[in-house]
Amino acid sequence: MAYKPELHFLVIPLMAPGHLLPMVDMARLLARRHVKVTIVTTPLNAARVSANIDREIQLGSPIQIQLIRFPNAGSGIPEGHESVDTLPSMDLQGNFFRALCLLQHPLEDLFEKLDPTPDCIISDRYVLPAADVARKFQVPRIIFDGTSCFFLLCNHCLHDSKVYKNVSDSEPFFVPGLPDRIEFKKYQLPGAFNPNAKNQGLNIAREMVRESEGDAFGTLVNSFQELEARYVQEYKKVTGKKVWCIGPVSLSNETNLDKAQRGKNDSNDNEEAGHYYTKWLDSWPARSVIYVCLGSLNRVTPEQLMELGLGLEATERPFIWVLRGAYKRDEAEKLLSEDGLEERVKGRGILIRGWAPQVLILSHAAIGAFLTHCGWNSTLEGICSGVPLITFPLFGEQFYNEKVIVQVVQTGVRVGCERVVHLGEEEDFGAVQVRREQVKEAVEKALGEDEDSRRIRERARLLAEKAEKAVEKGGSSFLDMSLLIDDITQHVKGLKMNNGAKSHDSAKINA
């Protein structure tokens, strides 16, 4: 006899790979815990996750995808573009936020049609209409946060203290109220404190998002207690809100097929690519290969990409370098071609120009270090791989994540990036921030044979073990997900009791 779920959660991700994929991983984990889950997204975004969701359904999980149309016409975004990473220009970020705001009526219509009626909405913090939908239908809204409690606490302390307002852009200062002594420069902070001068619309949007968080039932965080216990505890204390740490959610992808198909449209191509990279990695000794990826929004200049490549070449170590849809891609390709780098490293270096099965690659025993832009998903995926991270932060909260890795848990090495470069401002801060010598030096510090390097690698290995245990039955993240389910169950029971009492009082009055 099939198990009938008692709860129904509506999950609304932001249309961007770094937000969509962890929310889908989280949704799959909930469904495996006998919660009915409906993921709502647009057709082109659904194509990125449908293979893994279809497999969950075949295994009996109560999960489904419901499609809504992306409002291209109303937002001024060209047809065929439904995700931040596919925008033809970063100047359309404001249009993208406008598109999100146009989703309120489609979401309300969908909510009314769903059976059973959802008991809860879990939404990305940037999907503002979710707050209005939750209010209209009187269900709790939980914010899914794709960052860390370190990030959340830092932001809270900066908003509260305003300490960043009294310093120049390049002057270092300490963030008050944190468990560790954490120093930043103003130009390393995300846009809320270091705004993009060219896009005031985004700054207004950020404030709207912040204001909307006040009535949220709680926050789901893709992190785990053993990574940042003091920051979890302190964030709960200063906000008085419910916080559940349920990560790393990428560990929901347990098979090579799950890892190979995660986040890509054509599952056949995924499998072939996965086999090719796995076979190539099989030919290298354990912990010898550098994996390099600067994320789905790779916005470094062609000159900086070239300098990074020359640094990798200078290490004389094997590497896999994911270029993705690099900024000014044609110029970058021209520089690479003229230099002849790809030909010189042939055999020990692979350049991937499109999507790559990152979780699959990182899980291979041959990977020895991960040079990353420090997006939180990549940071956690690197942690789960048990290798040191070489940090190359670019924008957003990525300098925060670098602090977590290099200073808090001490499992990484800085390349030497000094300032945030906002999307759309790539040409304003010079073509090259990090030189090839810095890349080579950071790699050697991560993979060298001195005592400091060995300690970094050992800490990375032990942290990966803790991440695995956190999501296993009885682990801290497993228990936090149980608490989340219990909290919503109790909330639903309380509503039913209140409604029953009101009906009883009304009947007495009528009598």
The answer to whether residue 299 scores a pLDDT higher than 80 is: no
Q: Which residue has the higher pLDDT, 166 or 3?
A: 166
- Is residue 146 in a domain? no
4: phi then psi, degrees, rounded to nearest 5: -95, 115
The Cα 195–Cα 175 span in angstroms is 18
Q: Using 50, 70 and 90 to split pLDDT, how confident is the model at 370?
A: very high
The Cα 379–Cα 376 span in angstroms is 5
Packed helices 200-212 and 93-101: angle between N→C axes, nearest 10 degrees: 30
397: phi then psi, degrees, rounded to nearest 5: -90, 10
Enter the tokens of residue 308: 């990074």
Of the chain, the end-to-end C-alpha distance in Å amounts to 44
CB 99 within 8 A of CB 77: yes
Exposure of 202 in the CB half-sphere (CA atoms within 13 A): 20
384: phi then psi, degrees, rounded to nearest 5: -65, -25
- Is residue 277 in a domain? yes
* Tens of pLDDT, residues 96-113: 989 999 999 999 999 999
- Is residue 384 in a domain? yes
- Is residue 249 in a domain? no
Lowest-confidence region among 51-65, 298-312, 397-411: 298-312
- Is residue 422 in a domain? yes
The Cα 309–Cα 340 span in angstroms is 11
Q: What average pLDDT does the segment 18-34 reach?
A: 95
Residues 298-333, buried b or exposed e (16+ Cβ, 10 A)? Answer: bbbbbebbbbbbbbbbebebbbbbbbbebbbeeebb
What pTM does this model have?
0.91
- Is residue 442 in a domain? yes
Query: What average pLDDT is seen over the chain?
Result: 90
For residue 387, give the amino acid letter: V
Number of structural domains found in the chain: 1
* CATH assignment of the domain containing 345: 3.40.50.2000
CB 256 within 8 A of CB 361: no
Which domain does 375 fall in, by range? 268-470
Angle at 310 between CA 305 and CA 311, to 5 degrees: 95
The Cα 272–Cα 432 span in angstroms is 35
- Is residue 26 in a domain? no
- Is residue 159 in a domain? no
Enter the tokens of residue 497: 């009791």
* Tens of pLDDT, residues 430-478: 678 899 999 999 999 999 999 999 999 999 999 999 999 999 999 999 9
